[in-house]
């Protein structure tokens, strides 16, 4: 069903790790630590500047993957993986894109389940990967029938 | 605070118990993350999707889980963070976040992390690879 879009990726989108967005995000996950929010505190740490929480890449824009049309409802977030070369710094610019890494189906107790694996990458201005993430979206039989209509 | 680098397999980080999940928690996360899927905030939409009520964003719980490691930012950083969402979180659920060191390797510590509900159901099972800075070991 999504086999034909495996390997397709979006165009890179320029994102800024915005101070205000980091504050809002840190507060929303109940982690208003000064390493994320307070510049004076951060200056005295090894980083010298504020960093962003590990799951902050959820906020970034990754562009649209051509040909990938997902329903707005009925998707299940099954798994999430992140890998980082270093923490993200407040104020830095990251170029982000997403790619359909895989799609497969498995027989479940309530019909066939589809598993869509979407990989996302954030690169610095020199093109070095700073983080990658992998999201596994589970698509139930009912939702797949809806898409196929 | 304990030095993370000194922990041994079987040792745990300080557990965190969250306040009962409120609608405002999820509205805040929707706004902060940009994930406005209405099954997380609007009852009627959750019911339309066959759910008994609104459910927390899996990423909200995962985000909360990461804060067990925030106090150790001078010692290292999370290099890998993997989770499987194994259960749904509803309003008023009380979530407890836990991390246990399972293995130490050169320059890093591996943890099993979980988020569980008041009845013991695990809603997240995951792993964290914490990279320890050399000058801290």
Q: Which CATH number is B47's domain given? A: 3.10.129.10
pLDDT at A111 over 50: yes
Domain that residue B25 falls in? 11-136
pLDDT in tens, B82-125: 999 999 999 999 999 999 999 999 999 999 999 999 999 999 99
B29 found inside a domain: yes
Mutate to test the interface with B, among A26, A57, A82, A143 (most CBs of B within 10 A): A82
Q: Which residues of A touch B25 (CB under 8 A)?
A: 28
B48 found inside a domain: yes
Q: What are phi and psi of A97, to 5 degrees?
A: -145, 165
B50 found inside a domain: yes
- Whether B28 sits inside 8 A of A28 (CB atoms) is yes
What is the pLDDT, as a whole number, of residue A130?
A: 98
Tell which residue, B63, B59, B65, B67, has the closest CA to residue B36: B59
Q: Which residues of B touch A25 (CB under 8 A)?
A: 32-33, 63
B6 found inside a domain: no
B91 found inside a domain: yes
Domain count, chain B: 1
- Whether B66 sits inside 8 A of A29 (CB atoms) is yes
Residue A108's CB is within 10 A of a number of other CB atoms, namely 11
Mean pLDDT for B51-61 is 96
pLDDT at B137 over 60: no
pLDDT in tens, B2-37: 689 899 999 999 999 999 999 999 999 999 999 999
| Coil/strand/helix, residue B9 | coil
What is the pLDDT, as a whole number, of residue B2?
A: 65
CB proximity under 8 Å: B 74-133 to A: 74, 77-85, 133
B27 found inside a domain: yes
B4 found inside a domain: no
B3 found inside a domain: no
């Amino acid at each position: 069903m999504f086999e034909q879009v495996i390997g397709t990726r979006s165009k890179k989108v320029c994102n800024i790790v915005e101070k205000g967005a980091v504050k809002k995000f840190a507060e929303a996950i109940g982690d208003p630590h000064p390493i994320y929010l307070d510049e004076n505190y951060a200056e005295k740490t090894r980083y010298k500047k504020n960093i962003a929480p590990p799951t902050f890449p959820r906020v970034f824009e990754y562009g649209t993957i051509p040909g990938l049309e997902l329903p707005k409802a009925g998707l299940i977030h099954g798994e999430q993986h992140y890998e980082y070369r270093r923490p993200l710094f407040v104020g830095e610019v990251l170029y982000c894109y997403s790619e359909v890494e895989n799609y497969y189906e498995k027989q479940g107790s309530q019909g066939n389940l589809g598993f869509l694996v979407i990989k996302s990458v954030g690169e610095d201005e020199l093109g070095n990967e700073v983080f990658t993430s992998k999201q596994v979206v589970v698509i139930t039989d009912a939702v797949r029938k809806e898409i196929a209509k | 605070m304990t030095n993370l680098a000194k922990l041994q397999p079987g040792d745990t980080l300080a557990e965190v118990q969250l306040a009962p999940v409120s609608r405002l928690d999820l509205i805040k996360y929707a706004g902060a993350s940009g994930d406005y899927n209405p099954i997380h905030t609007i009852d009627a939409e959750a019911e339309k999707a066959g759910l008994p009520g609104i459910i927390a964003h899996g990423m909200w719980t995962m985000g909360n889980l990461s804060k067990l490691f925030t106090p150790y930012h001078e010692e290292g950083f999370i290099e890998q963070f993997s989770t499987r969402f194994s259960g749904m979180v509803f309003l008023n659920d009380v979530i407890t976040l836990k991390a246990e060191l399972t293995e130490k390797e050169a320059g890093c510590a591996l943890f099993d992390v979980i988020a569980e509900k008041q009845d013991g159901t695990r809603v997240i099972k995951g792993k964290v690879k914490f990279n320890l800075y050399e000058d801290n070991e």
